[in-house]
Amino acid sequence: SEIVNNSYGPIKVSGDVKDVPSDEETLALTGISSLRVLSKKTVIQPILSVNGSYEFGYASLVKLKDSDDEEFTLTVDHEGHQLREVYSNRVNEQQTISAEVYQRSYVLNDLMPKPLPFAAIIDGTTKLMTDAKGLVNTTGKTVTVKLNSDKSASTVIDYAVSTKEAANFTANLDASGKTTIKLNTANPAAVNAFVAIQGAVDFVAKYLTVAELPLLDSGIVAAVNRKEDVCNAFYENGSLNFFAQGKDVQGKTCANTALISDVVYHEWGHAMDDFLGPVNRTNSSTGITDGAYSEGIGDILSSYMARAPNLGVGLTLNDKTELRNLQNTRKHPPANARESEVHEAGLIIGGAFWDMFTLLSSLHGAEQGADLA
């Protein structure tokens, strides 16, 4: 447009439009043997001379690609076959990465895509991180997703692979800029636990500050696919632990507990109890002072997130029977030895909070009632 409207003044074009550098000459100018030519076209290029005026000449605009599929554009003039300009075609493109996870349990088949928040994204040698909404700036087509980062609510370790390194997997990013990772193509237990823990943190952060509960900011280690036990999950010494599918001594087959989000929320509730309050976790000393109360806290968090009283469905493989139900009439003191067991006794406070949840929801509507509870 500058030439058409005479912004440069009178012009003279040097060189010959036909004197096009060969592909071999062009590649030799770069000194990089792995490059290959994708396309080439002739253009007129303005060149600033030593006296400050513009000269014009024919040049070839060449697109190249290297062995890592990175694209470059360079300009070679026709008159002296000199390299005039080189730049990368890489641009920052926003990619939204979500993952299929279970809202409550695999047995309910309630898969739902949710943002993959604060996950490390490794694009070649470049290390990136998704934000709270799963957004990341990358032009990569295939990346490595690692389930930890400086801002993530958890570092998830897959004990089937390593007892130290964060779980990771390869993901192919969609050209549309919106990628949903199918649970069966990733690491189901690790991904489900990672997203569920972030969900618990986001939920509790609406009501507590980081000053009140530093766990909201510090994050926690979660181990999945442990095999020392079955039919179980536990919180201990600042870590969450979930067991792989397997049979117990009675021959009952239990599911992978990391695939039951109710269970993940419950165990994170133990961590909240441990780190919260006047007697909180300090120097590896536990802040859990009452086992039954802590079980109740875990159940309350799980039920409030699920908005349902029947918790832990699917612990027995493919069985929708709940592990515990907060819609109950338990009272203190416990009626018998069975009701004195910590998980059973936790149903007393859990049931009281569920009664409050249902009452406030009936008085103020589902959303405001849940928020007040």
Q: Which range marks the domain in which residue 253 is found? A: 100-111+188-372
Three-class SS state of 307: coil
Q: Are residues 23 and 104 in the same domain?
A: no
Assign 79 a pLDDT band (cuts: 50, 70, 90): confident
CATH code, domain carrying 40: 3.10.450
CB-based contacts of 232, cutoff 8 Å, min separation 6: 243, 254, 257
In a domain, 175, yes or no: no
Model confidence at 131: pLDDT above 80: yes
Q: Are residues 65 and 203 in the same domain?
A: no
Q: Are residues 214 and 295 in the same domain?
A: yes
Give the per-residue pLDDT at 12.
57
Q: Are residues 299 and 355 in the same domain?
A: yes
Q: Are residues 355 and 207 in the same domain?
A: yes
CB-based contacts of 335, cutoff 8 Å, min separation 6: none
pLDDT (average), residues 324-336:
95
In a domain, 106, yes or no: yes
Give the per-residue pLDDT at 15.
55
Span 229-270, pLDDT tens digits: 999 999 998 999 999 999 999 999 999 999 999 999 999 999
Residue 27 Cα distances to 33, 81, 115, 128, angstroms: 7, 12, 43, 32
Q: Are residues 215 and 361 in the same domain?
A: yes
The domain boundary, picked from 88, 119, 134, lies at 88
The whole-angstrom separation of Cα 146 and Cα 141 is 16
Q: Are residues 226 and 310 in the same domain?
A: yes
Give the per-residue pLDDT at 339.
92
Span 18-67, pLDDT tens digits: 678 899 988 888 888 788 999 999 988 876 666 666 677 888 899 988 87
Q: Are residues 358 and 209 in the same domain?
A: yes
pLDDT more than 70, % of the chain: 91
Residue with more model confidence, 253 or 84: 253
Q: Are residues 61 and 195 in the same domain?
A: no
DSSP notation for 148-211: --TT-SEEEEETTT-SSSBPEEEEEPPTTSEEEE-GGGS-HHHHHHHHHHHHHHHHHTTT--TT
First to last CA, the chain: 65
Note the pTM of the prediction, 2 decimals: 0.76
pLDDT more than 90, % of the chain: 70
CB 370 within 8 A of CB 354: no
Amino acid identity, position 251: G
Give the number of domains in the chain.
2
Longest dimension (CA), the chain: 102
In a domain, 200, yes or no: yes
β-bridge partners, 129:
120
The domain boundary, picked from 55, 88, 121, lies at 88
Q: Are residues 106 and 27 in the same domain?
A: no
Residue with more model confidence, 196 or 211: 196
Give the per-residue pLDDT at 85.
83
Give the per-residue pLDDT at 181.
97
In a domain, 215, yes or no: yes
- Mean pLDDT of all residues belonging to the chain: 90
Give the per-residue pLDDT at 284.
72
pLDDT (average), residues 156-181:
96
Model confidence at 227: pLDDT above 50: yes
In a domain, 57, yes or no: yes
Model confidence at 84: pLDDT above 50: yes
Assign 83 a pLDDT band (cuts: 50, 70, 90): confident
Give the per-residue pLDDT at 2.
46
Residue with more model confidence, 8 or 344: 344
In a domain, 256, yes or no: yes
In a domain, 125, yes or no: no
In a domain, 358, yes or no: yes
Span 297-319, pLDDT tens digits: 999 999 999 999 999 999 999 99
Q: Are residues 198 and 271 in the same domain?
A: yes
Q: Are residues 261 and 203 in the same domain?
A: yes
Give the per-residue pLDDT at 256.
99
The whole-angstrom separation of Cα 304 and Cα 261 is 13
Span 275-293, pLDDT tens digits: 997 778 877 778 898 999 9
Q: Which of 13-22, 79-88, 357-366 has the lowest mean pLDDT?
A: 13-22
